[in-house]
């Protein structure tokens, strides 16, 4: 059965819409409480709730917590905290469940709710479907309860201290925290290593999260790196589970380049578990070529960092992630963590003495183009006859020298197209053919 509310990464939508408002948050809290009762947990089971800096976060948190409390569960607020720090707090503090009120890289007008189970691991598709089945038909109480506060920052920051072999005295680093949840964590950690940190996107006002800054908008970071002669730039998304970097020349490194850099270093050092890197179907074919040349292999999953971690656990892998910048270092955390990823890359720079502009050369990308088309209705893929025909034609024409990926976004009403191939001209022609077919099959806005 298909999930109705949960997408690739939790429930997400415009704040005030039918599935992202206080009443729905209360119902979701009540459903989570019912789910925990089914598990027959001992009395005093706690749920830890964190949020990013969106103006709507506090009221959604209060409503969700009220639903939990009405269901007999203790709810504690972690306040503004990155998603990976919430995951860690659940794991370290032995909570029954963790919740993050965030829409990640989306604008401030959106919000979302995602869950972590015991151990700080995101819920599976089956668990989310079961949770949906426990949703009450309506909100039955408007009562709001005071939330006890739990500390999630102290332990999270302390976890980062062993990750670098040397201090960063003399290093200039541009840090863009997207006016989001990492504003109180990433900067203090880097400064704790004696780095000279130039902050961008560090003045959240509830409305400016991801607005022209952060991992979705790295231009200001790149410009600042060039202007100040920094060693690198680090950009997070609104909830801090992503990391995008730029080298000392102000040229962006995406998740594929970060993953390849870390995987190749791990292969050389013998620290890449089972010589496996786990990525999604979105990652560039060049990642497979580079890792294979280094003596490893790549395993692919559907898009979504929780699918990556599920496969990592199954394979015994310790490194995986997405081209979007979700990097999972499973020996540190069971979810994407933008700060951990950045520190891991800096550690490779320290170990090799090489700048990012050199280390990034390990990945030679295949030409790739992608396009996101906003659609009125997500028609079933099997009904898109023209799109299906063009996919088959392109796959036959390119063979093993390229690939085509067409999928709906799990969080937005968008059809995502990707073509990868041997030359820029072939890729451009392919994406144009796919777009024309999609516009014929769907109502594109």
Give Cα 230 distance to the centre of its chain.
26
Percent of the chain at pLDDT exceeding 90: 93
Last residue of a domain, one of 222, 252, 282: 252
Answer whether 68's CB lies under 8 Å from 147's CB: no
pLDDT at 188 (0 to 100): 97
How far is Cα 393 from Cα 168, in angstroms, rounded to an integer?
Answer: 52
pLDDT at 44 (0 to 100): 74
Which has the higher per-residue pLDDT, 274 or 409?
274
> pLDDT tens digit string along 308-349?
999 999 999 999 999 999 999 999 999 999 999 999 999 999
Task: Say yes or no: 146 and 188 in one domain.
Answer: no
Asked if the model's pLDDT at residue 45 lies above 90, the reply is no
> pLDDT tens digit string along 209-230?
999 999 999 999 999 999 999 9
> pLDDT tens digit string along 389-431?
999 999 999 998 899 999 998 778 899 999 999 999 999 999 9
pLDDT at 41 (0 to 100): 82
> pLDDT tens digit string along 130-145?
999 999 999 999 999 9
Beta strand ranges found along 330-433 (DSSP E): 368-374, 403-408, 414-420
How far is Cα 137 from Cα 63, in angstroms, rounded to an integer?
Answer: 16
Task: Say yes or no: 179 and 241 in one domain.
Answer: yes
Asked if the model's pLDDT at residue 70 lies above 80, the reply is yes
Q: Which one-letter DSSP state was computed for residue 354?
A: -
Task: Say yes or no: 393 and 353 in one domain.
Answer: no
Task: Say yes or no: 379 and 292 in one domain.
Answer: no
pLDDT at 270 (0 to 100): 98
Which SS3 state, helix, strand or coil, does residue 156 take?
Answer: helix
Which SS3 state, helix, strand or coil, does residue 342 take?
Answer: helix
User: Please, which residues bridge with residue 232 across strands?
Assistant: 173
Which SS3 state, helix, strand or coil, does residue 299 take?
Answer: strand
Task: Say yes or no: 321 and 435 in one domain.
Answer: no
Please give the residue range of the domain that contains residue 315: 253-362
Domain harbouring 324, CATH code: 3.40.120.10
How far is Cα 44 from Cα 35, in angstroms, rounded to an integer?
Answer: 15
- DSSP track, 75-126: EEEEEE--HHHHHHHHHHHT-SEEEEE--TTS-TTEEEEEEE-TTSPBPPHH
pLDDT at 315 (0 to 100): 97
How far is Cα 35 from Cα 279, in angstroms, rounded to an integer?
Answer: 31
Task: Say yes or no: 341 and 375 in one domain.
Answer: no
Task: Say yes or no: 358 and 392 in one domain.
Answer: no
pLDDT at 340 (0 to 100): 98
> pLDDT tens digit string along 234-252?
999 999 999 999 999 999 9
- Model confidence at 161, pLDDT cuts 50, 70, 90, reads very high
Asked if the model's pLDDT at residue 287 lies above 90, the reply is yes
Task: Say yes or no: 24 and 109 in one domain.
Answer: yes
pLDDT at 169 (0 to 100): 96
> Where is 176: in which H helix or E strand?
strand 172-176
Strands 74-80 and 11-14: unpaired
pLDDT at 2 (0 to 100): 82
Task: Say yes or no: 144 and 246 in one domain.
Answer: no
Number of domains in the chain: 4
Asked if the model's pLDDT at residue 120 lies above 90, the reply is yes
Task: Say yes or no: 77 and 172 in one domain.
Answer: no
- Model confidence at 43, pLDDT cuts 50, 70, 90, reads confident
pLDDT at 7 (0 to 100): 87
User: Please, which residues bridge with residue 13 across strands?
Assistant: 111
pLDDT at 334 (0 to 100): 93
Q: What is the mean pLDDT of residues 286-294?
A: 96
Asked if the model's pLDDT at residue 42 lies above 80, the reply is no
Q: What is the mean pLDDT of residues 1-28?
A: 93
> Where is 435: in which H helix or E strand?
helix 424-441
Asked if the model's pLDDT at residue 379 lies above 80, the reply is yes
Q: Evaluate whether residue 2 is within a structural domain.
A: no
Last residue of a domain, one of 219, 235, 252: 252
Task: Say yes or no: 123 and 170 in one domain.
Answer: no
- Model confidence at 165, pLDDT cuts 50, 70, 90, reads confident
How far is Cα 233 from Cα 195, in angstroms, rounded to an integer?
Answer: 12
- Model confidence at 162, pLDDT cuts 50, 70, 90, reads very high
CA atoms within 13 A on the CB side of 421: 21
So which residues are the catalytic ones? Answer: 104
């Amino acid at each position: 059965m298909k999930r109705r509310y949960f997408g690739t990464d939790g429930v997400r939508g415009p704040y005030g819409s039918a599935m992202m408002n206080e009443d729905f948050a209360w119902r979701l809290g009540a459903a989570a409480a019912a789910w925990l009762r089914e598990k027959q947990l001992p009395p005093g089971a706690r749920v830890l709730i964190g949020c990013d800096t969106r103006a709507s976060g506090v009221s959604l948190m209060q409503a969700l917590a009220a639903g939990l409390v009405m269901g007999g569960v203790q709810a504690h607020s972690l306040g503004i905290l990155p998603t990976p720090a919430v995951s860690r707090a659940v794991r370290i503090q032995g909570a029954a469940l963790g919740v993050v009120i965030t829409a990640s890289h989306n604008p401030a007008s959106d919000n979302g709710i995602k869950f972590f189970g015991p151990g700080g691991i995101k819920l599976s598709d089956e668990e989310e479907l079961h949770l949906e089945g426990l949703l009450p038909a309506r909100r039955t109480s408007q009562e709001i309860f005071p939330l006890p506060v739990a500390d999630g920052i102290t332990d999270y920051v302390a976890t980062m201290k062993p990750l670098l072999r040397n201090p960063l005295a003399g290093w200039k680093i541009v840090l863009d925290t997207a006016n989001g949840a990492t504003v109180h964590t990433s900067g203090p950690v880097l400064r704790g290593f004696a780095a000279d940190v130039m902050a961008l996107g560090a003045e959240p006002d509830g409305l400016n999260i991801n607005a022209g800054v952060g991992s979705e908008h790295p231009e200001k970071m790149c410009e600042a790196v060039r202007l100040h002669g920094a060693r690198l730039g680090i950009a997070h998304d609104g909830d801090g589970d992503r990391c995008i970097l730029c080298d000392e020349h102000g040229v962006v490194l995406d998740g594929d380049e970060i993953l390849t850099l870390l995987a190749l270093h791990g292969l050389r050092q013998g620290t890449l578990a089972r010589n496996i890197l786990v990525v999604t179907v979105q990652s560039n074919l060049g990642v497979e070529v580079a890792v294979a040349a280094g003596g490893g292999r790549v395993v692919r999953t559907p898009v979504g960092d929780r699918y990556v971690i599920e496969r990592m656990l199954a394979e015994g892998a310790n490194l995986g992630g997405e081209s979007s910048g979700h990097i999972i270092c499973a020996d540190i955390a069971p979810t994407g963590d933008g700060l951990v990823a950045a520190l891991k890359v800096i550690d490779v720079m320290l170990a090799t003495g090489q700048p990012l502009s050199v280390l990034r050369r390990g990945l030679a990308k295949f030409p790739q183009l992608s396009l996101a088309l906003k659609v009125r209705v997500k028609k079933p893929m099997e009904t898109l006859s023209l799109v299906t025909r063009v996919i088959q034609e392109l796959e036959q024409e390119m063979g093993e020298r390229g690939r085509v990926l067409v999928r709906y976004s799990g969080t937005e009403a968008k059809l995502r197209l990707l073509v990868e191939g041997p030359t820029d001209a072939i890729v451009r022609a392919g994406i144009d053919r796919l777009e024309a077919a999609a516009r014929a099959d769907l109502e594109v806005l």
